[in-house]
Chains A and B, each alone.
Chain A
Amino acid sequence: DSGVTQTPKHLITATGQRVTLRCSPRSGDLSVYWYQQSLDQGLQFLIQYYNGEERAKGNILERFSAQQFPDLHSELNLSSLELGDSALYFCASTHGVFGISSQQQFFGPGTRLTVL
C-alpha cells in the first residue's frame, strides 16, 4: 500500500459527460502528479500541483482540468468526455519538489474510466 488513495476505483459514463476523479496523497506529501494510461498513448504525465498551485502541465487536453485543495487532496475534472478518454488515471505524490525527496513518486491504485 503506497499510502495514496484514489476514488472511485471504476467509473463508467457516457460520451459528453463530466466526471471528477479524486486523489489523496500520502500524509505529508505536498506534490501531486496525474498520469493517464491509455492504449494509444501509454503512460503519460498530465499535470502537477505543489502545495495548492499548478506547477507543470504535460499532455493534458483543454477539456481536462485539475486542482489541489488546502487539505492537499487533488481532483482531476474531465469534461465533454469522448470514447478516447477511456483510460486508467493514476495519481502520484512526493514530499518535495527538489532533491531526492522529489524523486520517489508513490502511485495510487488508479481510477479506471470507461466512456461508452
Chain B
Amino acid sequence: QVQLQESGPGLVKPSETLSLTCTVSGGSISSYYWSWIRRPPGKGLEWIGYMYHSGSTKYNPSLKSRVTISVDTSKNQFSLKLSSVTAADTAVYYCARGVVVVEAATGWSVGWFDPWGQGTLVIVSS
C-alpha cells in the first residue's frame, strides 16, 4: 500500500524559505494530485496546493504568491517551498495523495485525500 513520509527542517527563520519533501513508497508517483496541507496550532486544516503528475499545479489563492510545489519522479518524491515565511506559517505540514474522479450522475468532479503522511511540525522563529 502507498505510504507518504514528510521530511525537512523543523525550524525556519522569519523571511526565509520553508522547504519540505514527501517521499512516496509502495506505489508510483505518476497520476494523482500530490498535495500539501497544513494545520496551524489551534486552527483547522488548510489546503496549500498540488502538482498533478502531468506537471500542472494549483495553489491556494491566499498562498499562491509564495508557494511552489514540484515533483521528482525519478526519486518518487514531491516537494513544497514556501517563501518569506512568518510566524503565521508555523504549522504541522502534511503531504497527501489527492484523487479526483468525475461523478457519473452529475458530471461534477469530486476529490479526496488518501493516504496522508504523518505530518511534520515546522516552527517559524528566529
| A-B interaction | no
Interface, chain A (partner B; CB < 8 A) = none
